[in-house]
Amino acid sequence: MHHRRPRGKGTRRIFTAESNQKPEKRQSRKITNRSHHLDKAEDRRAILCLFRKKGECPVRLHPQSFSSHYAVRPLHDGDIPAIYNLCVSNPTYFLHLRESPDTESIRRDFTALPPGKTAEDKYFLGYFRENRLCAVLDLIAGYPDNETAFIGWFLLDGSLHRQGIGSAMMRELFDALKKASFRSIRLGFVEGNSESEGFWRSLGFSPTGKKSPQEAYTVIVAARDLD
């Protein structure tokens, strides 16, 4: 089990063993024209979910579809100084973690994965405007199950807080994930971080009842549906 600290608005890269679901029996299903029962989005979702269960159609997301206002691209080693500066602009967040940002932990975040996932499932992205890094998003597709996306880290530049920017970014992300046929999103925030909890609750997240005690803090697991 891989545990990493929470990030950004309180999201926690908490990779719990929640994917130990019973394997589904193989069934022979025939896709028919069901347009009179389901709208196009539901038809597409049903087909993609069937392919996912068979392992024949891995979901590939397009980062730029996550935002119409920012350039969204994968981050690389050359972005580490900008990521570090973005972390430094969020002192309250790191205060709840009882630690300070450092470049080596940022470097490790580039490849951190939960059990059973591969690099193809990970989207470690930056939101840019005029070459300025405004936010970082670490998204895992299909965790802890195929119909769930996991936000391991969302970190907004401190100078952009309380302007509705982070909420707008997330709403566009939710729309993109729904179009990609995901049904829910999961994340974690540090217990006692009222700013983080308030942010995620305002976006429709609710605690699942699961907690993950860490050495210096406890993580609250939260989720919301995309339907």
Q: Give the whole-angstrom CA distance, residue 199 versus residue 187.
A: 12
Residues found in the chain: 227
What's the pLDDT at 227?
82
pLDDT given for residue 14 in this prediction: 52
Rounded CA separation 180/161 (Å)? 28
Asked if residue 117 lies in contact with residue 142, where contact means CB atoms within 8 angstroms, the answer is yes
The whole-angstrom separation of Cα 35 and Cα 33 is 6
Residue 52, SS3 per DSSP: helix
Q: Residue 176's pLDDT is what?
A: 98
pLDDT of res. 179: 96
Q: Judge whether 174 and 26 are in contact, CB under 8 Å.
A: no
pLDDT for res 10: 47
pLDDT tens string for the chain (227 positions)? 334 444 445 454 555 444 444 444 444 444 334 333 334 444 444 434 444 444 434 578 999 999 999 999 999 999 999 999 999 999 999 999 999 999 999 999 999 999 999 999 999 999 999 999 999 999 999 999 999 999 999 999 999 999 999 999 999 999 999 999 999 999 999 999 999 999 999 999 999 999 999 999 999 999 999 98
Q: Which two tokens stand for residue 76?
A: 């690389």
Residue 130, amino acid:
E
Task: Please classify residue 167 by burial: count the beta carbons closer than 10 Å to its beta carbon, then call 0-12 exposed, 13-18 middle and 19+ buried.
Answer: middle
Domains in the chain, CATH or no CATH each: 3-14+59-225 (3.40.630.30)
Closest listed residue to residue 207, CA positions, set 5, 14, 1: 14
Task: List the Cα angle 83/71/97 in 5-degree steps.
Answer: 30
What single-letter DSSP state applies at residue 208? E
What is the structure's pLDDT at 59? 74
pTM over 0.85: no
Phi, then psi, of 153 in degrees rounded to 5: -165, 125
Closest CA to 221 of 2, 17, 20, 11: 11
Which two structure tokens, joined as six digits, stand for 118? 């591969």
Q: Parallel, antiparallel, or unpaired for β 184-190 and 218-225?
A: antiparallel
